[in-house]
Amino acid sequence: MYLTLPSYLFIDRYQLSDPLFLSSQNLKALHALSGATDLEAPDWVIPEWGSAALLELELPDSSNAEGNWTVSIPLHLRYLSPSAEPPYGMRSVAVPWPVVFWACTAEEGSKFASSPFDRTNLGYDGLFGSKTMFYDVQPISGGVGYEELAVPVMDLNRAAWVESGTVVVIVCGTFWVLLKLLQGVLKDLREQKQAHNGKKKK
């Protein structure tokens, strides 16, 4: 399965390196991940168009082949630019459908027709050998090739509360740290005074 993601979505390669987690999502392996893979950068600093991932699916066994079979791919949303337009605090984003295909190695001696107008290695075919045959799995229902999702963003109409709340938290945290430092210093002074008084009594 080849998944092309815009810049506001990304895959965590470390999450998909756990075999137990992969098995629970009906995934076998993450074979390739390219593009914008920074896990902490917001969308507005990503210089590239996005990222692309090649995943191998864990196929169901023959006894379960006729039932429903679901594959889950955990996607993460980057911080998007704040918005002051309705719907407040929400924004619509497009999540593209993945390309699902079979990749089979051709038999020895197979001859592939070549043309000077062919363009190769423009997509996932560049991740396989030159003697690979591809069989695309077409989606059951037609559509535009992506899903629209509403995701949360900062509402600029309420940004003042965030700014003032951040200042209050920072000030309270600073006072708490200073208080703990002062308590530690006073405790050391008391212990030194007690030790000094003990020496005087002896």
* Cβ neighbours for 7, distance < 8 A, ≥ 6 positions apart: 36, 43, 46, 48, 49, 50, 51, 78
Rounded Cα gap, residues 155 and 159, in angstroms: 6
Average pLDDT for the chain: 84
Rounded Cα gap, residues 13 and 179, in angstroms: 42
* Cβ neighbours for 6, distance < 8 A, ≥ 6 positions apart: 49, 50, 93, 94, 96
Per-residue pLDDT for 93 more than 60?
yes
**How far lies 131's CA from each of 2, 56, 104, 127, 140, in Å?**
19, 19, 9, 12, 29
Instruction: Write out pLDDT tens, residues 111-154.
Output: 556 655 566 666 787 788 777 888 888 887 767 888 899 999 98
Instruction: Write out pLDDT tens, residues 35-81.
Output: 888 889 999 998 878 999 999 998 877 666 566 788 899 999 999 98
pLDDT number for residue 47? 80
